Amino acid sequence: MMTNTLKQHVQNLHLSGLLTSLELRLQEAEANRLPYAQFLELLLQDEINVRDQRMLARRRKSADFREPRSLENFDFSFNPSINRAQIYELATSHFVRQHRDVLLVGPPGVGKSLAGFDSTADNRIEVGTIKAAESRA
């Protein structure tokens, strides 16, 4: 059972992710006789998960995208010359981690923006490479 003192300490440390799962984790630890280290690991992972989700939400909001788009909804049949495998590779953002550039070239209306920028934005937000101004370009 969570005491008021424990709850106050968690609040003072700004561990809101841990606070939301603490009661459940205490019950789980007691029922399953979890070792202290495993119990602490679960609590800390809960906090990390909440913080990661908040960070992604802040980055998405900061990016100020016009509308969410994804490769799952991309109509590859509209332009059969688009190499699906290359686009999915682009979406992994490996090129960013490798400090490489990508240049999409083609006439207007062939799907460069959607395939290269809009549909990979969520992944780049998660990787942490997207800047707020990038979405307004």
If phi over 0 gives left and psi between -120 and 50 gives alpha, with beta otherwise, what is residue 128? left
Confidence band of 131 (pLDDT split at 50, 70, 90)? very low
C-alpha span between 38 and 25 (Å, rounded): 11
Count of C-beta atoms within a 10 Å radius of residue 128: 11
pLDDT tens string 110-126: 777 766 555 556 555 55
Number of H helices, E strands in the chain: 7, 0
C-alpha span between 117 and 125 (Å, rounded): 12
Residue 65, pLDDT score: 66
Residue 67, pLDDT score: 67
Please answer whether residues 104 and 116 qualify as being in contact, where contact means their C-beta atoms are separated by less than 8 angstroms: yes
| Beta-carbon contacts of residue 78 (< 8 Å; ≥ 6 apart) | 111
| pLDDT, the chain, mean | 79
pLDDT tens string 24-39: 999 999 999 999 999 9
What's this model's pTM, rounded to 2 decimal places?
0.56
Residue 29, pLDDT score: 94
Over 50: is that where the pLDDT of 99 sits? yes
